Amino acid sequence: NFMLTQPHSVSESPGKTVTISCTRSSGSIASNYVEWYQQRPGSAPTTVIYEDNQRPSGVPDRFSGSIDSSSNSASLTISGLKTEDEADYYCQSYDSDNQVFGGGTKLTVL
Amino acid sequence: QLQLQESGPGLVKPSETLSLTCTVSGGSLSIINYYWGWIRQPPGKGLEWIGSVYYSGSTYSNPSLKSRVAISVDTSKNKFSLRLSSVTAADTAIYYCARSRNWRDFDYWGQGALVTVSS
């Protein structure tokens, strides 16, 4: 089984750009899609990026996803930060019979 | 619009079995390439996948919980269920049911049900 490692927290100012990483411990990051979720306090998670870099309808194009095989990691980038982006963000991937979530990253927009 | 709703006891005693049901409305549970899962979140902590079930009845579980988890599906009632045995305080969490597309992202979630393990 593999693990996904995220930074515990990141912070940035409104209007700036922030990137959250998600590193896979074993197996290639490119072998299975990576999904990203946003979770606000008291609410269930919602998808902001699916299949590495696809945005669901309704998610602003300020959100983007990518993978980097050289570092075996995925990244979620949020540009033009808004205070409403302050939330917890989780990456998720899978293999043939397991689903794995990263530990989550708390984004503070200050 | 697809909706998922968790139901079950909010308080379970240590060593007993936690039982939750997820009712799916606004769509069928019997759709190919969609899986139905359980995810939990201890207070103040991250998400943990518990397991998933396919409408055919095939099940998949987190290896760390496999010996205690049973997931079943009732397509006639459009529901699926979770049973977690021998619970301890460490199993106190918000339990979510969710749908995953093609074994990939979870695109629909229930609102979550808080289950506390305490005597």
- Give me the DSSP letters along chain A: ---EE--SEEEE-TTS-EEEEEEESSS-GGGS--EEEEE-TTS--EEEEBTTTBPPTTS-TTEEEEEETTTTEEEEEE-S--GGG-EEEEEEEE-SS-EEE---EEEEE-
Looking at every residue in chain B, the average pLDDT score rounds to 96
Distance between CA atoms of residues B71 and B49, nearest Å:
13
CA distance A44 to chain B (A): 6
Judged by a CB distance cut-off of 8 A, whether residue A59 touches chain B is no
Judged by a CB distance cut-off of 8 A, whether residue A60 touches chain B is no
Per-residue model confidence (pLDDT) at position A7: 98
Judged by a CB distance cut-off of 8 A, whether residue B5 touches chain A is no
> Which of B5, B71, B95, B104 to mutate: most A Cβ within 10 Å?
B104
Per-residue model confidence (pLDDT) at position A9: 98
Judged by a CB distance cut-off of 8 A, whether residue B109 touches chain A is yes
CB contact under 8 A, A50 and B60: no
Residue A28 has pLDDT above 90, yes or no: yes
Comparison of pLDDT for A16 and A96, the residue scoring more: A16
Judged by a CB distance cut-off of 8 A, whether residue A94 touches chain B is yes
Q: pLDDT, tens digit, for every residue of A56-100?
A: 999 999 999 999 999 999 999 999 999 999 999 999 999 988 999
Per-residue model confidence (pLDDT) at position A52: 97
> Which of A99, A100, A105, A106 to mutate: most B Cβ within 10 Å?
A99
Looking at every residue in chain A, the average pLDDT score rounds to 97
User: Nearest-CA neighbor of A4 among A19, A21, A18?
Assistant: A21
CB contact under 8 A, B46 and A92: no
